[in-house]
Amino acid sequence: MISKELLAQIKKLQIKTEHMANEVLSGDYKSAFKGKGLNFESIREYMIGDDMRLLDWKVTARMQSPFIRVYKEERQLNLILIVDLSASNDFGTQALSKKEMIIELSSVLAALAIKNNDKVGLALISDQVEKFIPSKQGKAHVFRIIKELYTFKPKSPKTNLRNCLQKLCKLIPNHSVVFLVSDFIDHNNDYDKELKILAQTQDLIAISVRDPREFDLPNIGYMELVDPESNKKTLLNLNRKSIRENFAIKQKQHLENTKNKFKKLGIDFLELDTGKAYIQKLLGLFIKRERRS
């Protein structure tokens, strides 16, 4: 049972994200994705120019003539949101924290799916798959997703994308459109194999959400920095320019390495900043993918 106050907050977020989803729908949303399912329709004789991979060898052998399997494209999409709620995402110095932007963005994507009569599911992760909600249609389902995003408290503060993606490869239906939303601050940083496997069967898109202060420490003297996932504490003298610069270099290098990881695997990577509006960047991603398809 949720309180009236919480219910009002969730409905407010739902209305806001539906409005934001309408902004994105100015383009051809569906053609931006290649993750459409294929349904078997019929078998017919092979014609010059047909894809040899569609040959039905059993029918070909029986009929002593080449036959191919014909598939009909399934226009309904299956969207899966993989949302990182580990403790590093609680950080924020802008109007929205990283977690708040991740929740809002995920709600926008869920609203987009429902407005297009698509199905949407949700995986909440930390160093484990904390919760998996299978795909469904309808506004009531989107309300449940927003409620889970808004109220869920992870059991673990840590991040382990490798462990989570291994499990999700088995849970997510093939030919889904998968959004992986995270700050990608993972001390293991060894999940290339899992990304590759997931991208082979899904249309995978990565969205990074970071706070600008993570790349630009203030000049305010001594400060104790606490890693929210390991609780490790480090005392830094931020009056020293070299310390601030070294910190920024390490952070930027980590982000660059993450971007290169996805680029190498042919996975779209969208970089968002909590200090900036993101709807136009999301629309830009869809337009770029539509033109490429």
Per the listing, tokens 């950080």 go with: 91
Which pLDDT band, with edges at 50, 70 and 90, does 189 fall under? confident
Examine the domain organization and report whether 54 and 133 are in the same domain.
no
Which pLDDT band, with edges at 50, 70 and 90, does 272 fall under? very high
Extract the tokens encoding 63: 């009929």
Integer Cα distance of 2 and 9 in angstroms: 11
Examine the domain organization and report whether 12 and 61 are in the same domain.
no
Examine the domain organization and report whether 193 and 224 are in the same domain.
yes
Examine the domain organization and report whether 69 and 80 are in the same domain.
no
> Which is it for strands 203-210 and 222-226: parallel, antiparallel or unpaired?
unpaired
What is each CA distance from 264 to 135, 181, 192, 256, in whole angstroms?
A: 29, 19, 10, 12
Extract the tokens encoding 201: 């069967």
Integer Cα distance of 224 and 268 in angstroms: 36
Residue 29 in this model has a pLDDT that exceeds 90: no
**pTM of this prediction?**
0.86
In this predicted structure, what is the pLDDT of residue 188? 83
In this predicted structure, what is the pLDDT of residue 287? 87
Reported as type and span, the H/E element at residue 195 is helix 192-201
The predicted model gives 145-158 an average pLDDT of 95
CATH of the domain at 172: 3.40.50.410
| Number of structural domains in the chain | 2
Closest Cα to residue 208, out of 179, 177, 250? 179
Beta bridge partners of 83: 124, 181
Examine the domain organization and report whether 16 and 67 are in the same domain.
no
Examine the domain organization and report whether 128 and 66 are in the same domain.
no
Residue 36 in this model has a pLDDT that exceeds 60: no
Examine the domain organization and report whether 23 and 80 are in the same domain.
yes
Beta bridge partners of 55: 68
Examine the domain organization and report whether 139 and 233 are in the same domain.
yes
Which residues form the domain of 55?
A: 38-73
State percent of the chain over pLDDT 70.
94
Examine the domain organization and report whether 205 and 102 are in the same domain.
yes
The whole-chain average pLDDT of the chain stands at: 91
Residue 131 in this model has a pLDDT that exceeds 90: yes
